[in-house]
Amino acid sequence: MKKNRQYTDELKEKIVQECQEVGNVGVVARRHDISANTIHTWIKKYRERGTAKSMKKQSVSNVDQQTAQQLQKVSTENDRLKRLVAEKELELTVLRELRDRTNPK
């Protein structure tokens, strides 16, 4: 097997489709003289993006920006939820203290 080969996007799509039809990546890999790990990578990309085509560098930076925005949004929501839980814990503590004062054990 050769290393560092460049495969066309059409070939990648064709091989992923063939793997789905055959159901055995190893057989397809041997038939096309391609590493099974390479095909598994294409299948993973196909599942994640809906295509096995390579992304352009600009697209990758857009994905990075979107991921950063999602991370910021999730982080903000996480902080808000932590504050909410802390407030509820404080309320419970106060209520327990009041209960214990009015009804001593």
pLDDT in tens, 41-97: 888 888 877 766 565 555 667 777 888 899 999 999 999 999 999 999 999 999 999
User: What's the pLDDT at 58?
Assistant: 58
Instruction: Tell me which architecture the domain covering 1-54 has in CATH.
Output: Orthogonal Bundle (1.10)
- CB-hemisphere CA count at 13 Å for 83? 6
Among residues 52, 34, 35, the alpha carbon closest in space to that of 43 is found at 52
User: What's the pLDDT at 6?
Assistant: 83
CA distances from 53 to 43, 87, 91 (A): 11, 49, 54
pLDDT of residue 28 exceeding 80, the answer is yes
How far, in Å, CA of 17 to CA of 25, rounded?
A: 11
Model confidence, pTM:
0.46
User: What's the pLDDT at 95?
Assistant: 93
